[in-house]
Structure 1
Amino acid sequence: MPREVWITGMGMVTALGADLNTSWSRALAGKSGIRAISSFEADEMPVAGAGEVEDSELESLRERLPGDLAAERERRVLFALDAARSALADAGLAPGESDPARSGVVMGAGLSTYRIEDFAAWIPPGGGFEAARFAAELEKTHPGGYFQNPPERATSLISKWAEFSGPSATLTSACAAAGQAIGLGMRMIRRGEADLVLCGGADSMINPVGMAIFLLLGAASTAAVESAALCRPFDRRRSGLVVGEGAGMLVLESADRAARRGARVHARLLGYGSSMDAYRVTA
């Protein structure tokens, strides 16, 4: 019979706040995390706002992270690291306290974004692209771009920090990735492949190329309304999605392991499903 899976830890970084309690309390109070974009000059873009984590929150994230992790420059990875740290602490656990071989990490992550800065330095004034020089100088590309920040990087850093050597995976199935990561983590425990799995997702695409992708897909809201009123999925006047950034992580444990250590239980995870019924790439 499949083993029961319990949720014993939760961590979150959102545009509403840099931790679970702040995000949740502000959501209950009806606050919106959608605001005018501040991380780049977006006045010429037909997008009024995004769910951006404020720069002041980034420093508080770094203060909570240990050692080299605090120096992380890429936003998506920084969010993932702190959400994982918060989830493990919420579960009453610390790095190195779990059986390494029976503990794993499953992350949903974006494919990373090619940034304008990744190519501009290798485009000569007359046009073209200096491919050979670019290949020899990859380390000079933007730290948040694809070439220095592949999707699986956050998974690897979390595994190393938590001292987990069990099964790990990174899923890049776009908006479904984090939910599928939780489902895969649950199945790993049910099948007896792991006793504990840190799982969830993180992403950040609030940059010129990332925003342009959603605009070209016809998916982003371009309504001429206040930023806080952009996200209205159940309104007949809805006009598209609003890009956000952040991370959410859960600690999943087998029921017997959690019970043995007297863990607080947030919920039981009873099932999971994933299907495809879209009629086009954005719906």
Structure 2
Amino acid sequence: MENGRPAAYITGIGLATPIGTGREKFWSSLLANESGVGRISLFDPEGFEVQIAAECTDFDPKEYMDRKLVQRTDRFTHLAYASAKLALEDAQALEELENNPERVGLVMGTGIGGVMSMHDTQGVMDRRGVNRVNPFSVTKIMPNASAAHLGIQLSVQGPSMTPVLACSCGTDTMGMGLDLIRRGDADVVICGASEATITPVIVAGFITMRAMSRRNDDPEGACRPYDRDHSGFVIGEGAAVLILESAESVRRRGAEPYAKLTGIGRTTDAYNVADPDPKGRGIRRAMELAVESAGIAPEKIGYINPHGTGTVAGDGPESWAMHAINPEAKVSATKSTLGHSLGAVGAIETAICALALKHRTIPPMRNLTELAEDCAPLDYVVDEPREAPDLEAALCGNLGVGGHNVAAVLERA
């Protein structure tokens, strides 16, 4: 029990990211400070002001799904499905799913959903007419497609939800999974988020918002959180799924957790649909609520994986929010390595926090050479991982377009 309420134990981690698929490959690449950013290959970016992205270049959905299911689903579902299978295998929870499907929950979020299939469907209509549209188009595009197919293929019969909360979605799925565990609605929750939006319309939209870095000649140096030369984010794709379990389920199965999820905080800026509150009040309050929910002192937070997108509007206010939580905390903004996978990113960064706690190692961030004048002086971990033998608690925080803020606290199990 944490703060009088149950914790959710993280017993399995599955990932599909621009620096590797699978927990071990991902973690070793992250510690090695490898970049996942390069020129866009998922479409021809010629003529676009931004021509770089972080793509899952080594990912093949046919390694995880049969050919027919691959054809009937969108890329964001492919990434989610692979991550879920890897997480269940990692947790050795497949038998639990077979024996008690009604006690297994499913929370799979996304920021946008099957936008690649939307693009392809529009192309078919334009070239061949309405009657040539694929009958699976709607079930490819709908945001709950990954949850639907996971539920069907894995025979999940407990609660199922699909939060859609822009860039804070992945962190919010963790909160929903924690809520299910705390209420006793499920013993095990397959919890995560996925996104695959590297398409002409989404890239063009972010370009006109002036939100993306235009460093086409330096892809690996493009995303520069908190740096004097920060100039916008780099769009990415990916997915992460964590298996959350109750303490009783962990004890009964003899599982070995990576960490435990103990606190969640949610707020809304009520300021602007595109820009965060310039005073950072929303994200600061979300972090405070998460720490309060966990029932720990703020100074116990030894590592923070922040939103850290490399935008001028967001970096400064968020850095001072972190400073208010614990000015001594170590910080690494891993979007500098992974790009910004929109709705999936909070799930990926929660996984990073769990792995950091398990291994007591802080992964590095890239491209911070000189701190921006409006950013808080914090212990930023740059270029090289850092051992943290005393690390007991970590915080993951994310801001979503529309003013949504979510933060989660994890502790050593």
Q: TM-score range by the shorter chain?
A: 0.7 to 0.9
SS at match of 1:175: helix
Name which of 141, 147, 164 aligns with 1:172: 164
Name which of 16, 19, 22 aligns with 2:19: 16
Whether the aligned pair in 2 keeps the contact of 1:83 and 1:248 (CA below 8 Å) is yes
Alignment of 1:256-267 (within 5 A): 256-267=248-259
Whether the aligned pair in 2 keeps the contact of 1:87 and 1:249 (CA below 8 Å) is yes
Residue 193 of structure 2 is matched in structure 1 by 201
Residue 62 of structure 1 is matched in structure 2 by 62
SS at match of 1:194: coil
Q: What CA distance in whole angstroms lies between the structure 1 residues aligned with 2:59 and 2:267?
A: 35
Name which of 6, 20, 39 aligns with 1:3: 6
For 1:261, the aligned partner's letter is R
Residue 253 of structure 1 is matched in structure 2 by 245
Residue 127 of structure 1 is matched in structure 2 by none
Deviation for aligned residue 1:179: 0.7
List alignment gaps of at least 5 residues for structure 1: 125-129
Whether the aligned pair in 2 keeps the contact of 1:48 and 1:225 (CA below 8 Å) is no
Alignment of 1:48-59 (within 5 A): 48-54=51-57, 57-59=58-60
Name which of 126, 134, 139 aligns with 1:139: 134
Residue 84 of structure 1 is matched in structure 2 by 84
Whether the aligned pair in 2 keeps the contact of 1:138 and 1:147 (CA below 8 Å) is no
Residue 97 of structure 1 is matched in structure 2 by 98
How large is the RMSD of aligned CA atoms in angstroms? 2.4
Residue 151 of structure 2 is matched in structure 1 by 159
For 2:213, the aligned partner's letter is S
Residue 107 of structure 2 is matched in structure 1 by 106
Quick one: structure 1 residues 98 and 104, their matched pair in 2 at CA, closer, same or farther if it must change by over 3 Å?
A: farther
SS at match of 2:76: helix
Deviation for aligned residue 1:122: 4.3
Name which of 168, 180, 195 aligns with 1:188: 180
Residue 29 of structure 1 is matched in structure 2 by 32
Identity, % of aligned pairs?
33
| Larger mean Cα displacement after TM superposition, 91-100 or 267-276 | 91-100
Whether the aligned pair in 2 keeps the contact of 1:104 and 1:159 (CA below 8 Å) is no
Whether the aligned pair in 1 keeps the contact of 2:52 and 2:216 (CA below 8 Å) is no
Question: How many residues are treated as equivalent by the alignment?
Answer: 269
Name which of 50, 53, 76 aligns with 1:47: 50
Whether the aligned pair in 2 keeps the contact of 1:47 and 1:222 (CA below 8 Å) is yes
Q: What CA distance in whole angstroms lies between the structure 1 residues aligned with 2:148 and 2:201?
A: 26
For 2:55, the aligned partner's letter is E
Quick one: structure 1 residues 5 and 209, their matched pair in 2 at CA, closer, same or farther if it must change by over 3 Å?
A: same
Deviations 1:192-242 (A, max 9, x none): 111110111000111111211211222121235411111111212111111
Name which of 119, 122, 129 aligns with 1:119: 122
Whether the aligned pair in 2 keeps the contact of 1:6 and 1:268 (CA below 8 Å) is yes
For 2:265, the aligned partner's letter is G
Residue 269 of structure 1 is matched in structure 2 by 261
List alignment gaps of at least 5 residues for structure 2: 276-413
Where is the helix percentage greater, Structure 1 or Structure 2? 2
Whether the aligned pair in 2 keeps the contact of 1:62 and 1:71 (CA below 8 Å) is no
Deviation for aligned residue 1:53: 0.9
Does 1 or 2 have the higher relative contact order (CA < 8 Å, sep 6+)?
A: 1
SS at match of 2:263: coil
For 1:45, the aligned partner's letter is F
Quick one: structure 1 residues 232 and 209, their matched pair in 2 at CA, closer, same or farther if it must change by over 3 Å?
A: same
TM-score in terms of structure 2 length: 0.60
Deviations 1:52-78 (A, max 9, x none): 011xx233x422345754556521111
Quick one: structure 1 residues 262 and 170, their matched pair in 2 at CA, closer, same or farther if it must change by over 3 Å?
A: same
Q: What CA distance in whole angstroms lies between the structure 1 residues aligned with 2:274 and 2:30?
A: 27
